[in-house]
Amino acid sequence: MVQQPSDDSCWSAEDPKKAHSDEAVTIDAYFRRIGEFGRYQRSHYAVVAGAWVACAWITFSMVFVNARPAWLAVAEGTTTTPCDDPDAWTIADTAQSVGAEWRLVCADGYRRAGLDSLYFLGFLIGASALGAASDRYGRRKACAVSAGIAAGGA
């Protein structure tokens, strides 16, 4: 049973003047009572969303890390595909992606998918280790270590 405050003018949707203690209280009535989306909620949203922007940007970068390379035929009139005859083809720009630079193509293409797995494994390890470190040593120290690792890895 929900205990209502003395000023119960906004609790009842049917008749605000006659709210009863056994009547169901709606979420909309709570929001009208405490205020909906104010300055604090906007600032809290900005801080929380801002923290996820960096994480989303890094995750989005995997699109470029694992991009399929563009191929150029070495000889005119080549009719094979790059994986069928690797001597007749070359990667146009090896700096285009990590997969192209490390030649993770054709038979080694499965390794490119392994980059994604390693990336998210790093998230798992980092979240576990730095979460425990923040409990033990404090959030500021753990955040500084996390920023140092990220800067070193970049």
Whether 4 contacts 21, CB under 8 Å: yes
DSSP 96-127: G-HHHHTT--GGGHHHHHHHHHHHHHHHHHHH
Give the model confidence (pLDDT) of 65-114 as tens digits: 788 888 888 877 777 888 888 788 888 888 888 888 888 888 888 888 88
Q: Is 34 exposed, middle or buried (0-12, 13-18, 19+ CB in 10 A)?
A: exposed
Instruction: With 0.85 as the threshold, say if the pTM is over it.
Output: no
Which pLDDT score, from 0 to 100, does residue 11 have?
A: 47
Which pLDDT score, from 0 to 100, does residue 136 have?
A: 92
Predicted confidence band at 36 (pLDDT cuts at 50, 70, 90)? confident
